[in-house]
Each structure stands twice: as C-alpha cells, then as structure tokens.
Amino acid sequence: MRYSCGIDIGASAAKLVIVDESRQIVAKAVRSSGVDYAQTSERCLAEALSAAGLTREQITGSLSTGYGRDNVPWANGRMTEIACHGKGAYFHFGRMITVIDIGAQDSKVIHLDDQGHRTGFKMNRKCAAGTGAFLEEIAHRLDLPLAELNGLAERSTREVALGSFCTVFAATEILEKIRAGERVEDIVKGAFRSVVKRILEMDVLDGALVISGGVVAHNPCLKELIEETFGKPALVPPDPQHVGAFGAALFALEKAEKR
C-alpha cells in the first residue's frame, strides 16, 4: 500500500493528513502552529503515523502548503494553499465550484471549472477583516472564549449591524453597542455577518459555493449566514479544517504515482 502525506501550516493551526492509494484518509492531526513550524510539523507527523500504525518509511510522498510551507524539513515538495484548497474541495464535489476559505489571517475565493482547473482567485491580505483574527479580536473585546461565539450567535434574536469592517474600529463600535444596552449574542451575530459581507466584497461567486477552513469548522453558523447573503446553498466538505492538507496529500500521491 502506498501512503502520502500533506501538511497545511497556517498562521494559527497546522493540519496534517495521511491518505492511502484509494485517496482515503487514514490519519490526521492538528496542532497550534506555534513559532517553530519545523517542530510542529514533526509532532503532527509523529501523531498521525502513530494513529495509523505506520512508519515514516511507508510514506512515499509528502507535500507542504500554507503560511509555513517552507519550514517543513521532511516534505518532498510544496505548493500554494490556493492550489491545495482547490484540490481538496474539488475532490469532494467534482463540479464547477467557488471555494470560500476563511482562515486565521486571510480569506480566499477560489474559482474552479467543472474539470477542477483553477480559473481565478482572490485573497484578502490587507487587514484582518473577514478572517478569524477579526473574530478573535471581537471575543477579546467582549471578554469571551473564542469557542463560545458560535453558540451565542445561534441564540441571537435581533442581529446588531456593525458599520465598520476594520478590526480596530469595529472593536470600538462594539464597546459603544454594549454601552447602549445591546445584547451580547446580537452583537456577536453582527460580527459574523461582518465577516460574510467582507467576503461578498472580494469577488463575484460563480457555480456552487463550497466553504472550507478552520473558522467555518468551529463556527457552523457562518454557513447559514453565507447562504442568506449569497442567496444559494453552501456546501461544506467533510472536516473543512483539513481541506488544504488533504489537497496537499492528493498532490503528493499523484506525484508518487508518476514516479
């Protein structure tokens, strides 16, 4: 049996996937990226190998992607997260799609045709608006654990609109909303809506919508808000946080099969 590995080291979390020859996931791992990406990659690999009962020698190909892709010593190659997120998402749906990947530090809109070829993409790198970092700042300002935001948003009965996309200005605006007596859950839902509106500004979305990334994995209410905003259903692949790592593993497997 041939096994391949893909690792996606993002600004916040490192995700690793091992696949077999049939392109099925046999093990995966996720850890905080930390400041030593090489060490994090080693720990992720060791964890996944142990879970799958494999040795390092059984991995015939490996590929890294994401923010820290240049800091994975054991990887045989590297590719952009645009390519890997597109590859992983297309595998699950196999048709023309627009992938919305919401990450910790940036958001991506990736267009793929019905053959899985990329026809265009846009990235948001200018500020934290529309990313996980925006939600982290909101949680900080509200003195709440980040993990509680989704539950609060789902209990909202009257969404409070935020006028600013800027993280700094939005945080100040939130304090004003609190002083005005607005409910926390309504403010949180307004913050999620702000993330979606920022994505709406990035690009025109064609074909079926697919949402990936750790932010969506931990905040499923974003799927509902995206559907409301764009007026069409949104698809979420299995384990959306690992889509980039899965795509990297698929690329690694294809390269190994050609050798």
Q: Kindly tell me the sign of the dihedral angle through the C-alpha atoms of 45, 14, 224, 84.
A: negative
CB 91 within 8 Å of CB 65: no
Distance, in Å, from the CA atom of 90 to the CA atom of 94, rounded to the nearest integer, reads: 5
**pLDDT band at 134; cut points 50, 70, 90:** confident
Distance, in Å, from the CA atom of 14 to the CA atom of 205, rounded to the nearest integer, reads: 28
Task: Quick: pLDDT tens for 83-130.
Answer: 999 999 999 999 999 999 988 778 889 999 999 999 999 887 666 666
Identify which of 4, 44, 1 has the alpha carbon closest to the alpha carbon of residue 246: 4
pLDDT of residue 164: 62
Check pLDDT > 90 for residue 142.
no
pLDDT of residue 175: 81
Task: Quick: pLDDT tens for 179-215.
Answer: 888 899 998 898 888 888 888 888 777 789 999 998 8
- The domain locations on the chain are 3-125+200-258
For 232, other C-beta atoms within 10 Å of its C-beta total 11
CATH 3.20.20.70 fits 3-125+200-258, yes or no: no
Check pLDDT > 80 for residue 168.
no
Task: Quick: pLDDT tens for 226-259.
Answer: 999 888 999 999 999 999 999 999 999 999 888 7
Residues 6+ apart with CB under 8 A from 224: none
pLDDT of residue 66: 93
Which DSSP string do the residues of 171-209 spell out, in sequence order?
HHHHHHHHHTT--HHHHHHHHHHHHHHHHHHH----SEE
How many helices and strands (H and E) does the chain possess? Answer: 9, 10
Residue 127 has what DSSP assignment? S
